[in-house]
Amino acid sequence: MSTLTQAYGALLVAIALELAGTSFLQASQQFTRPLQSVVTVVCYAASFYSLSLALTLIPVSIAYATWSGLGIVLIAVIGYTVFGQTLDWPAIIGIALIVAGVVVVNGFSSAVGHR
């Protein structure tokens, strides 16, 4: 497995942990539920650690754009499916534009892997 693949693996782990942390943040009810609050903090700390591993090869601008962009999109899906939150058409269009941006940055930018 190449080092770039490992870096993207670490980035995907960071995204998954951020999603878990944000989901538990919602479930913590403003940090009033101790177990959910602890899980939130642990997930965010582990997410940042994994993000730092990804930064060994992926430029910070690309890694952060991917981490935050996919996090926004996927947490919107979780909010809709798990928490019953709704999205209107402008929100859906905006989220689709974020997906397009992440695809363009990772699929067409020559900045990835050229540090």
pLDDT for 109 equals 80
The single-letter code of the amino acid at 13 is V
Give residue 39's pLDDT band: very low, low, confident or very high (50, 70, 90). Answer: very high
Domain spans, the chain: 3-108
Render the burial of 9-44: b for 16+ CB within 10 Å, e for the rest: ebbebbbbbbbbbbbbbbebeeeeeeebbebbeebb
3-state secondary structure of 59: coil
Share of the chain above pLDDT 70, in %: 97
What's the whole-model pTM score? 0.88
Does residue 68 have a pLDDT over 50?
yes
